[in-house]
Structure 1
């Protein structure tokens, strides 16, 4: 079928809206008409060749929409279902089979392979291959193909245009707290970075009952929003040393948990140094490949843990509906992060995201 997609044709370029052809769904795939798609920092990585990727290509991996067609073997979805599109995974490796699909052995191939798992393309423009299948969806388009495994049915009585970010950024931040660190009521946590992922982590900390929730960022407006969302304290590193301030706020011990969401190596070291004996630091932010930081090995010998976290350790079919229900109850107001743009404003929306003028830009399709 013919669709309109935002195509990237060169390193560091601008998106152009083009009419291209999208395959019909195969037996395990679904065709989704997009209502809205969130913009995530990861969408800029292939554009800037931070990760190797081909051109021309279609990005986008926080799609929300309505199922239009399903393949012959699809059983969990039907036309008309409201859905969120999340990360792709093979479903067959040991990590997938043990309920940890975000650590799929083929995660890179499934999400950054720019094709189906068998290497076949999903998009064309005449004789030209348009590299699609980004995160199993390429949802910077009016329609997207997704595998049944990674397309999640959601309730139809909540605003579908809001829900796309649950497929990646919001899922990642909230899940890192709820699923990965799983603090107990009354615990302390410091979250480095107050972007969409970091603020989603603040919401996750509120849901889990943390008593001390500290948000660290350079942007005072974002820190103000963190307070509005439930942070008990905020720190701007240009005015106070984060590690010393965290210790002062926690009786000199350090926080029970810390989370680094920005990809900044200095912030990562501070996040590690902010936790107490037997504390745990989670790392979400993605610095450049091959980056390293020095660590205090004696500090680690005192029971401190440092662990990487991918996509909030989520099982999307289970976790995304739970976030929708928390939102419905008024306990997870992630809508406060969102700024809407028309699809044709995609370049403006991405620039606003990169320059900090918006926290979670979301494209709407008319």
Structure 2
């Protein structure tokens, strides 16, 4: 195989805008899968990385909810073949205790493989002349026409499925839905409050409906999102957790706002669980330990829903086919060239889940 030319949106440094460039992509090396991308969802973590709040290798190609068609595979890859339709998710080592427990979001190498974008010996890279560009973020770097992925973070799907609608399954949707269905294991009739009605929060809402939860409350500041939450099955929706009556078996915080967490603990029922799913700034937050101990309450951190993409994404696709996971209600499509506009729409809250669609030759 030979190198190919690709188009990619490169971020030169922290806070820099996207710059579209023609770059050179090596042939895939061991355990690499070259994917011709059709679409990529925009996740809040992309914004955090672009701002330099996470340790990523500038200049860099972001994007970690990719979907496309396998173009070529490297030595040792037998899980997919050219022509297969695939969704891309996060990268893991496959060998540590968490990976063996089918919870690769807690992989001991999560940071170097996903944020640092480290590659293994002999694997191909993406180049601007003789300068290597960060092209392995979350094992994919999918704001481009082509990306390298790996056997562990590629999920093959049926060819009749819409790649643009299913692209967000690889991170945001599986995070919200996995938190409810796998980490919390919400049972029929239980109550749940979801803080934040972005893509993660609304995915948690749809999963709560699938789980048969009883009281389902969504809290957000955007009236349009609260209206959508009601349409998707919320029994109550409002803009202030403090005004709600009663206690909850489960609370899912997707906002990443530490000031809300003390109040969230107070709203937990006996043996209730607070799931921390947001991107929290470093630092402390204040809670009363006796309020946790005396009521048997729990606080649990959740990465990527606590799921294994290879088994959980097909489960979500099943719900989508049944009409129980109407992802199309969250999505607005943008041309790849309009990536900045898509980011702005996400940042302002105007769009729940922007998805950029790549040009196809």
Give the TM-score, by structure 1 length: 0.94
Q: CA deviation at 1:178?
A: 0.5
Contact in 2 for aligned 1:337/1:359 (Cα 8 Å): yes
C-alpha displacement of 1:309: 0.4
How many positions carry a matched residue from both structures? 355
Contact 1:45 1:51 survives alignment (8 Å): yes
Is residue 2:281 matched to residue 1:294?
A: no
Decide which of 329, 342, 348 is 1:349's aligned counterpart.
342
Q: Is the 8 A contact 1:193 1:260 kept in 2?
A: yes
Match of 1:220 in 2: 223
Displacement of 1:13: 1.4
Matches within 5 A, 1:151-300: 151-237=154-240, 242-245=241-244, 248=245, 252=246, 254-288=247-281, 290-300=282-292
Cα displacement string for residues 159-203 of structure 1 (whole angstroms, at most 9, x for unaligned residues): 111111000000100110001001110110000000010000000
Matches within 5 A, 1:46-195: 46-117=49-120, 122-195=125-198
Alignment partners' CA distance in 2, 1:269 and 1:361: 32
Q: Distance in 2 between matches of 1:48 and 1:362?
A: 20
Output one character per residue of 1:82-131: Cα deviation in whole Å (capped at 9) or x when no partner. 10000000111121122111100000001011331459772111112211
Specify the alignment match of 2:302 in structure 1: 309
Distance 1:85 1:305 in 2: 32
Contact 1:55 1:131 in 2 (8 A): yes
Q: Following TM superposition, by how much is the alpha carbon of 1:46 offset from its aligned partner in structure 2, in angstroms?
A: 2.3
- Unmatched 5+ stretches in structure 2: none
Q: In structure 2, what is the equivalent of residue 43 of structure 1?
A: 46
Deviates more, 1:119-128 or 1:1-10: 119-128
Structure 1: gaps of 5 or more residues: none
Deviation at 1:57, TM superposition (A): 0.7
SS at match of 1:45: helix
Q: SS in structure 2 opposite 1:306? A: strand
CA contact (8 A) 1:175 1:311 kept: yes
Off by >3 Å, runs of 4+ in structure 1: 117-121
Cα separation, 1, equivalents of 2:176 and 2:151: 24
| Matched-pair contact (CA < 8 Å) for 2:25–2:124 | no
Separation (CA, whole Å) in 2 of partners of 1:84 and 1:69: 15
Q: Which residue number in structure 1 is paired with residue 28 of structure 2? A: 25
Contact 2:30–2:122 (8 Å) recurs in 1 = no
Using a 3 Å threshold, how does the CA distance of structure 1 residues 206 and 117 change in structure 2: closer, same or farther? farther
CA distance, structure 2, for counterparts of residue 320 and residue 268 of structure 1: 29
Q: Distance in 2 between matches of 1:49 and 1:335?
A: 31
Contact preservation (8 Å) 1:88, 1:111:
yes
The match for 1:339 is 332
Residue aligning to 1:322: 315
3-state secondary structure, aligned to 1:222: helix
Does residue 365 (structure 1) correspond to residue 358 (structure 2)? The answer is: yes
CA RMSD of aligned residues (A): 1.3
Contact 2:23 2:127 in 1 (8 A): yes
Name the CA distance, whole Å, in 2 between partners of 1:129 and 1:84: 25
SS of 1:198's partner is helix
CA contact (8 A) 1:55 1:130 kept: yes
